């Protein structure tokens, strides 16, 4: 008998019919002799509807209140799922984040899991219950409700799996697994059977819809994560610590694992900044205070004591970021602020790049051969990222997918 944690996303729970289907899948897992804990997101577009409601009474809804409001979406879906399971004859019980022992920091809207007390879940499992946990939410030491930010249900699921020492955490979603590239952009993208935590972390940060914090948790607690479709019985992709890529040094290791793409990118350039110590801190601290994360940063070499500073933010943060930057740049003596939002991030990712050379030059050569201009470049140990024009993204991604030998047969998958 294994202990399995399953997570179902909002699109898998959009209607009563979806919920009944998922209840059937959960029941079969239980019937196979497993102990089952299920983490659910809010049904369909519930979260967006609640945000709309809040914005209809307040221009800038209070974040503490917003968290309580949004947490109701998962309370609804977990109780409905428990009811559906009970009507199929299973003993099921729903638990809120607080009841499930999810303790978080007090950063409303983007709280982090600070601790996990699995006692209540354990006692419900001991009573032969299927336990349905409301994802995306937790509670502070002062018993205020928090949410974990978009994708937070993934984090709940992995945290629960880690705390329960579950055999694995199964994340069911509307795609069949992790691909070598986004199949909507690269028709020859192939589904991976497995992928390492580090590679997945880079992919998740750079386009794949999986909360990076959940991958980190899986890595730290060595909890394997299976990503698979909630509607078919395909094998999905296993994210885990020891992949074939690490074991089988040679042909497989020495390669790029996938191409990541992201269009939620905008660029801000501050021109003619006087180059003196503290400029970067003065610029980026107020952005951090507003919860705006800055990604790629390029500072040109100084000419005559003045420099240009360019950086990217999420496109959805651009308006707020520009507002902050313009205010700060006035203190720099009227430096000019230029923004652009028709950009995209394109990355090659792979642990194979860790100790090898030639990947960057091959990437740049491939893009040049395809007449794609690189606006900015940034790298990590297992990733090289270029900022390119959004209109050239698909062509660029396909070219790199071919160049790094990732192409499979043309796929009909649309993600």
Residues that bind its own copies (CB under 8 A): 16, 19-20, 23, 50, 53-54, 56-62, 64-66, 68-69, 71-72, 75-76, 78-80, 82-84, 86-87, 93-94, 96, 98-99, 143-145
Identify the DSSP state of 316.
Answer: G
Q: Which is nearer to its own copies, 36 or 169 (CB)?
A: 36
Measured between alpha carbons, how far is 306 from 108 in angstroms, rounded to an integer?
Answer: 39
Minimum separation from the CB atom of position 91 to its own copies (A): 10
Minimum separation from the CB atom of position 82 to its own copies (A): 5
Minimum separation from the CB atom of position 163 to its own copies (A): 18
Q: Which is nearer to its own copies, 61 or 109 (CB)?
A: 61
Beta strand extents in 43-201 (DSSP E only) = 92-95, 102-104, 113-116, 130-134, 137-139, 145-147, 168-173, 194-196
Minimum separation from the CB atom of position 61 to its own copies (A): 5
Q: Which is nearer to its own copies, 80 or 215 (CB)?
A: 80
Beta pairing partners, 313? 266, 294
**N-to-C CA span, the chain:** 33
Q: Which is nearer to its own copies, 52 or 331 (CB)?
A: 52
Q: Which of 400, 287, 387, 372 is nearest to 337 (CA)?
A: 287
Minimum separation from the CB atom of position 76 to its own copies (A): 5
Q: Which is nearer to its own copies, 152 or 187 (CB)?
A: 152
Give the Å distances, CA to CA, from 66 to 57, 287, 322. Answer: 12, 22, 25
Decide: 398 and 185 in contact? Cβ < 8 Å. yes
Dihedral angle of Cα 148, 152, 156, 161, to the nearest 10 degrees:
-140
Neighbour count for residue 4 (Cβ, 10 Å): 22
Complete DSSP assignment for 122-141: HHHHHTTPEEEEETTEEE-T
Minimum separation from the CB atom of position 384 to its own copies (A): 44
Measured between alpha carbons, how far is 155 from 137 in angstroms, rounded to an integer?
Answer: 10
Minimum separation from the CB atom of position 89 to its own copies (A): 11
Enter the tokens of residue 140.
Answer: 């502070």
Measured between alpha carbons, how far is 180 from 186 in angstroms, rounded to an integer?
Answer: 9
Minimum separation from the CB atom of position 19 to its own copies (A): 6
Q: Which is nearer to its own copies, 50 or 399 (CB)?
A: 50
Q: Which is nearer to its own copies, 143 or 301 (CB)?
A: 143
Q: Which is nearer to its own copies, 53 or 338 (CB)?
A: 53
């Amino acid at each position: 008998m294994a202990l399995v944690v399953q997570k179902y996303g909002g699109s898998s729970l959009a209607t009563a019919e979806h919920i009944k289907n998922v209840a059937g899948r959960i029941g079969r897992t239980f019937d196979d002799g497993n102990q089952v804990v299920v983490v659910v997101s809010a049904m369909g577009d519930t979260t967006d509807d609640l945000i709309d409601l809040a914005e209809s009474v307040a221009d800038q809804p209070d974040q503490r209140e917003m968290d309580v409001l949004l947490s109701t979406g998962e309370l609804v879906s977990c109780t409905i799922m428990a009811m559906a399971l009970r009507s199929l004859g299973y003993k099921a019980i729903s638990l809120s984040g607080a009841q499930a022992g999810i303790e978080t920091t007090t950063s409303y809207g983007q709280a982090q899991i600070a601790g996990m007390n699995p006692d209540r879940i354990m006692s419900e499992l001991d009573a032969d219950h299927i336990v349905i946990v409301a994802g995306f939410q937790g509670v502070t030491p002062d018993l205020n409700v928090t949410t974990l930010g978009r994708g937070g249900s993934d984090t709940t699921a992995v945290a629960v799996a880690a705390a329960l020492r579950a055999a694995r955490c199964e994340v069911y979603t509307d795609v069949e697994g992790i691909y070598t590239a986004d199949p909507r952009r690269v028709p020859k993208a192939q589904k991976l059977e497995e992928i390492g935590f580090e590679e997945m972390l880079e992919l998740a940060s750079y386009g794949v819809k999986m909360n990076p914090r959940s991958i980190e948790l899986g890595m730290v607690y060595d909890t394997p994560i299976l990503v698979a479709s909630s509607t078919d019985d395909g094998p999905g992709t296993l994210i885990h610590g020891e992949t074939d890529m690490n074991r089988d040094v040679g042909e497989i290791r020495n390669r790029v694992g996938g191409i990541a793409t992201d269009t939620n990118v905008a660029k801000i350039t501050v021109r003619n900044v006087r180059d003196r110590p503290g400029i970067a801190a003065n610029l980026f601290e107020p952005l951090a205070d507003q919860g705006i994360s800055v990604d790629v940063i390029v500072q040109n070499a100084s000419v005559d004591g003045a420099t240009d500073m360019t950086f990217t933010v999420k496109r959805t943060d651009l308006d707020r970021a520009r507002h902050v930057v313009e205010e700060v740049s006035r203190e720099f003596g009227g430096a000019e602020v230029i923004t652009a939002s028709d950009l995209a991030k394109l990355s090659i990712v792979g642990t194979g790049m860790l100790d090898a050379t030639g990947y960057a030059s091959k990437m740049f050569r491939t893009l040049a051969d395809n007449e794609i201009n690189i606006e900015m470049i940034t790298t990590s140990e297992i990733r090289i990222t270029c900022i390119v024009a959004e209109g050239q993204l698909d062509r660029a991604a396909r070219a790199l997918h071919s160049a790094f030998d990732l192409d499979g047969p043309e796929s009909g998958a649309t993600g």
